[in-house]
Amino acid sequence: MTTKYFLLISIILCLFCASCAEERRYDINSDDAVPPAAPVISRYEALNGAARIYYLPPADKDVISVDAQYTRKSDGKKFRFSTSYFSNSILVPGLTDTITYDVELYAVDRAGNHSPVITYPVKPMESAILKVKGSMIIKGGFDAIFAKWTNELKEPANVFIDYSFTLNGTSRTLTRVFSSSTKDNMYYITDLAIPSDSPVSIKYRVSDEYENFTEYSKDTTIFVLKDEEVPKLDPDRTPYWSIPAARTVPLAEDGSTISQVFGDVADGKMARVIDGIIDHSENLNYMMTEEDQPWSLIIDLKRPYELSRIVTHQRHTKDGGADEDVKRGNYYGQGNIGQYRMYRWDEEEKQWELISYHKIEIPQGSLSELEWNRYGRAGDMAYMFPDDPKYTKPTRWFRYEALSGFEDNYATGKGGCLSEITLYCKKITE
Looking at the structure of the chain, the number of domains it has is: 3
CATH of the domain at 162: 2.60.40.10
Query: Beta-carbon neighbour count of residue 368 at 10 Å?
Result: 11
Residue 400 lies in a domain: yes
Q: What is the pLDDT of residue 323?
A: 62
Point out the domain boundary residue: 198, 225, 252. 225
Do residues 247 and 149 both lie within one domain? no
Residue 426 has pLDDT above 50, yes or no: yes
DSSP string computed for 240-295: -SB-PPTT--TTGGGT--PPPP--BSTT--GGGGGSS----TTS---EEEEEESSE
Residue 368 lies in a domain: yes
CATH of the domain at 334: 2.60.120.260
Do residues 48 and 159 both lie within one domain? no
Do residues 186 and 254 both lie within one domain? no
The answer, as to whether pTM is greater than 0.85, is no
- Give me the domain span that covers residue 332: 228-426
- How far apart CA 30 and CA 112 sit, in angstroms, is 10
281 pLDDT band, cuts 50/70/90, is confident
Residue 13 lies in a domain: no
Residue 285 lies in a domain: yes
pLDDT tens-digit readout, 198-216: 999 999 999 999 999 999 9
Section 308-327 average pLDDT: 80
Do residues 153 and 98 both lie within one domain? no
Q: What is the mean pLDDT of the chain?
A: 89
372 pLDDT band, cuts 50/70/90, is very high
Rounded alpha-carbon distances, angstroms, from residue 400 to 110, 173, 227, 299, 345: 69, 39, 20, 8, 12
- Picking from 138, 201, 152, the residue whose alpha carbon sits closest to that of residue 49 is 152
Residue 8 lies in a domain: no
Q: What is the pLDDT of residue 252?
A: 72
More confident residue, 421 or 75: 421
Q: What is the pLDDT of residue 322?
A: 52
Q: What is the pLDDT of residue 430?
A: 56
